[in-house]
Chains A and B, each alone.
Chain A
């Protein structure tokens, strides 16, 4: 006779928490979280106690107080009477500016160098190897300072541009390369439709976006024609016309005019002043990060099986078409994820601006403001939060792009 016996119920013993694999992981996790919470509690408590001992409170009111200091590079209106919050905003915009310019140039440099390093031309591939290894293996700070020193010590002084001096403006007297930075012509809108010049530029930007939309339409149509007939119509002149004519026309209507830098008094005035600090930081960040991106691009291309390019050649595609139509689209899937981290690195590395006095958010909010108000904790927390939000935004946007270039499995 068979009886169905329940498995004997083993009563729970404490030692099971350690020796029983079913419970062990839970035990470890509980202990770890208790330690973590205790650690955080200790930190917060310690901070509160010590702030109290120093007689300091935790207050963000300083952000509305007048800042009192001037900032040389301002993308928005700011005077020394503006608030510390405005100063932080000016710094944030400067950080965004150098990060944007840096990511752009680093990508161009990186992709070019990465592709060229795989060139069959020995001289070209060696040159790119020298660039990549040279920049990748020397600390970024040194490059920033080196470029800054090159600009301040190597370029002509302002006084040499005066009458009788031996320096002159280049490119038909439109660009002045001085040891205070580079002055380039700017475009001004004499009689815009809107009152403020920023609004006028916004109008132009909107028109440009609309043009781009139509250009996309033209491209889609030629794609369809190509699908049907196998012959792609020539549309580059149409695209060019759509892109240039409307914006150009509106700019003429607004009285757009080139304003050349002109030496007046102590400095060049008018035109756009690219300060040494911006140039040094921008170039160093781009060259440095570009070297890393070059390696990522090279790795991405090498990850594509050789059969792909051989097949493309067999179909009669020329080498540059093979690269742009077959290799790069596939390589992008490998390239983009590490590229995101490079963009994040570049953005965060821009806080090295302090070395050359570029007024980014680290220098305004995290430097002068903290120093003048004594709000180290608040300032550093705000600064951390800003970089956190910025990094998450960049990586979020890049992830969207990544998902679009991923292999669409059907």
Chain B
């Protein structure tokens, strides 16, 4: 046992050694690939398709960043992480960028020493129950068995919600979404709780999605966003403005279809600055002038990514809701490119 203490200390020391190296931007450029942490599989957000190619909303974020930095949306090494391994993977330098439905909270930002670069999905925690159970409200779940992913904010929200409503429950801790799905479908738990988007994505993969309902209560705010390590401001800027570029592109009407045409110059100076024909914003980030263009071409602008992966025409069928542009009553907004 003495050895294992030493070993764990060594592992942590070794991992930390990776983190303390030079700027992440230089590391990624030198390596030629971006190490991107994603989920172990949540259809619509990040999951490998039939050919083993990762796709999804979070994957699109990784590809856009890789395209901005390296010019190639496929120069990404996807690292599947669980709710409880993701932070260690990022803190240790195993991954450069974590895009895994991660809720932006105070303690994660301040105490865990991470830097959230923005919010790419406004979510909230919901409950899914089998229709046959006849439950219509989360408040009726007194005494229910609840499947819950460990190491997530949902675990804490769940405890708070049941305590504040003075009802009891039996938690069944699970490690991955796949495990939760299996336990839920086997009836080992009455309800499965996680982010409402995750529930919708999970339900879409069921044999009979209509046999399951999402309860109306959304018990928490879950602003999901990608994050990087605290302290490397250059890298955080690159990641933040790549996300902002995707949002700005939607706002300015730049899509993957018309971007080639717009890149030749337009009458709108902000589009010109975004696409690099004016202003030299790319150089300020330490990237080429076509960084944002590459990022947008990787998978389209924010709206295109949304519609293609999780939008209403996909099996997951999420409405834009809070995630509509601010001009359309949503919360998606970016500071100006100036």
Could you say which of B8, B113, B187 contacts A381, with CB atoms under 8 Å apart? B8
Task: Report chain B residues within 8 Å CB of A384.
Answer: 1, 4-5, 8
Inter-subunit contact B16/A46 (CB<8 Å)? yes
Residue of A nearest to B2 (CB): A388
Could you say which of A47, A70, A391 contacts B171, with CB atoms under 8 Å apart? A70
Docked pose: A384 CA to B11 CA in angstroms: 13
How many residues of chain A are within 8 Å of chain B by beta carbon? 54
Interface pick from A11-19, A205-213, A263-271? A263-271
B220 proximal to A (CB < 8 A): no
How many residues of chain B are within 8 Å of chain A by beta carbon? 56
Task: Report chain A residues within 8 Å CB of B142.
Answer: 265-266
Query: Given A51-B16, A371-B83, A391 and B170 touching (CB < 8 A)?
Result: no
Task: Report chain A residues within 8 Å CB of B250.
Answer: none
Docked pose: A381 CA to B1 CA in angstroms: 11
Could you say which of B16, B17, B172, B187 contacts A72, with CB atoms under 8 Å apart? B172
Docked pose: A94 CA to B87 CA in angstroms: 26
Could you say which of A47, A71, A79, A81 contacts B12, with CB atoms under 8 Å apart? A47
Could you say which of B88, B163, B170 contacts A80, with CB atoms under 8 Å apart? B163
Task: Report chain A residues within 8 Å CB of B145.
Answer: 180, 266-267
Docked pose: A264 CA to B162 CA in angstroms: 18
Task: Report chain B residues within 8 Å CB of A354.
Answer: 175
| Binary flags per residue of B198-231, CB closer than 8 Å to A gives 1, else 0 | 0000000000000000000000000000000111
Residue of A nearest to B18 (CB): A50
A216 proximal to B (CB < 8 A): no
Q: How far does the Cβ of A149 sit from chain B's closest Cβ, in whole Å?
A: 9
B160 proximal to A (CB < 8 A): yes
Inter-subunit contact B159/A70 (CB<8 Å)? yes
Docked pose: A357 CA to B147 CA in angstroms: 11
Q: How far does the Cβ of A177 sit from chain B's closest Cβ, in whole Å?
A: 13
Residue of A nearest to B132 (CB): A159
Interface pick from A53-61, A98-106, A134-142, A248-256? A53-61
Interface pick from B27-35, B149-157, B233-241, B280-288? B149-157
Docked pose: A221 CA to B8 CA in angstroms: 55
Chain A at the B interface: SS class: helix
Inter-subunit contact B112/A374 (CB<8 Å)? yes
Inter-subunit contact B143/A265 (CB<8 Å)? yes
Query: Given A50-B16, A367-B151, A368-B151, A381 and B173 touching (CB < 8 A)?
Result: no
Docked pose: A373 CA to B1 CA in angstroms: 25
Those of A49-103 within 8 Å (CB) of chain B: 49-51, 53-56, 68-72, 79-81
Query: Which A residues contact B (CB, under 8 angstroms)?
Result: 43, 46-47, 49-51, 53-56, 68-72, 79-81, 152-153, 157-159, 179-180, 264-267, 269, 276, 348, 354, 357, 359, 363, 367-368, 370-374, 376-377, 380-381, 383-385, 387-388, 391-392
Q: Enumerate 22 A-B pairs (CB-CB under 8 Å) in ascending A order.
A: A47-B16, A50-B13, A50-B17, A54-B16, A55-B230, A70-B162, A72-B173, A79-B163, A80-B159, A80-B160, A152-B186, A158-B187, A180-B188, A266-B145, A267-B143, A363-B173, A368-B84, A368-B150, A371-B150, A373-B107, A376-B12, A388-B2
Query: Which B residues contact A (CB, under 8 angstroms)?
Result: 1-2, 4-6, 8-10, 12-13, 16-17, 19-20, 83-84, 87-88, 91, 107, 111-113, 132-133, 141-145, 150-151, 155-156, 158-160, 162-163, 169-175, 182-183, 186-190, 229-231
